[in-house]
């Protein structure tokens, strides 16, 4: 692979999540990013894991073997202390099989109705897994970002639960902070900071 770019397939069909990963990884010229849209025969991986790590590994290894590519599997979600860690791995489908960002936020607000500010602590988790084309896990990284859930939405940026997730130190939600600040503070940005040195080390060994 000498003198060539390392092809990394982002194993997600979530457009907003893919764009965020592209933003975080695009500054490394030795990496050529591809998405599942570049592979018409990409499969749908069923997220049957009970942890972020298990789901990330499924997305990475199954897709990598199928496509014969290096695939980055990512699984992330929101956990709320007052809800015993829910919605957790079910964050995207919290309000049912036909869940949307809006319906999930409505359910979260309802479930936390009456819970005081000091007990609305929550954290985002992001797990990243890189698989080689044979289905071997080469890199595993997980990070979190802590904050609290508001009683109503604030901000227009971001996606998912971002308008409800406030960073107390800033007094702003992820949806108010904007992409540049979020790309430093977020769970995905933190996991990426652990992931990139390992990825660059792998690329150096392969060259």
Structural domain range at position 42: 6-206
Which of 38, 75, 101, 140 is the catalytic position?
75
Which residues define the annotated binding site for substrate? 12-17, 76, 159-162, 182, 187-188
And the tokens for 164?
A: 């409800």
Residues tagged in the binding site annotation? 12-17, 46, 75-76, 159-162, 182, 187-188
Tell me how far the alpha carbon of residue 67 is from its chain's centroid. Answer: 21
- The answer to whether residue 3 is catalytic is no
Q: What is the pTM (predicted TM-score) of this model?
A: 0.92
Instruction: Specify if 139 maps to a domain.
Output: yes
Work out the end-to-end distance of the chain between its first and last CA atoms, rounded to an integer number of angstroms.
5
CA angle at 73 for the pair 68 and 79, rounded to the nearest 5°: 165
CA distance 25 to 196: 8
Tokens describing residue 174:
């992820």
Count of the separate structural domains present in the chain: 1
pLDDT computed for residue 3 by the predictor: 52
Any domain includes 199: yes
- pLDDT single digits (tens) 135-160: 999 999 999 999 999 999 999 988 89
Q: Is residue 1 one of the residues assigned to a domain?
A: no
Name the token pair of 22.
Answer: 């592209």
Is residue 19 assigned to a domain? yes
Q: Tell me: the pLDDT tens digits for 189-206?
A: 999 999 999 999 999 999
How far is the C-alpha of 65 from the C-alpha of 54, rounded, in Å? Answer: 17
- Comparing 1 with 52, which gets the higher pLDDT? 52
Q: State both tokens at 171.
A: 């007094």
């Amino acid at each position: 692979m000498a003198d060539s770019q390392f092809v990394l397939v982002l194993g997600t069909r979530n457009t907003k999540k893919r764009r965020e990963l592209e933003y975080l990884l695009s500054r490394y010229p030795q990496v050529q990013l591809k998405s599942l849209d570049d592979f018409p025969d990409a499969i749908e991986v069923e997220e049957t894991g009970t942890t972020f790590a298990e789901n990330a590994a499924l997305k990475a290894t199954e897709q990598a073997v199928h496509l014969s590519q290096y695939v980055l599997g990512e699984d992330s979600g929101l956990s709320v202390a007052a809800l015993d860690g829910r919605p957790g791995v079910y964050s995207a489908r919290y309000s049912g099989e036909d869940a949307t960002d809006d319906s999930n936020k409505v359910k979260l607000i309802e479930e936390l109705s009456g819970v005081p500010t000091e007990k609305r602590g929550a954290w985002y988790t992001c797990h990243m897994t890189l698989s080689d084309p044979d289905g071997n896990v080469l890199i595993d990284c997980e990070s979190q970002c802590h904050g609290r859930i508001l009683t109503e939405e604030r901000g227009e940026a971001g996606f998912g639960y971002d308008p409800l997730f406030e960073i107390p130190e800033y007094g702003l939600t992820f949806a108010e902070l904007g992409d540049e600040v979020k790309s430093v503070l977020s769970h995905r940005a933190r996991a990426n900071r652990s992931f990139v040195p390992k990825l660059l080390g792998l690329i150096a060994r392969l060259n």
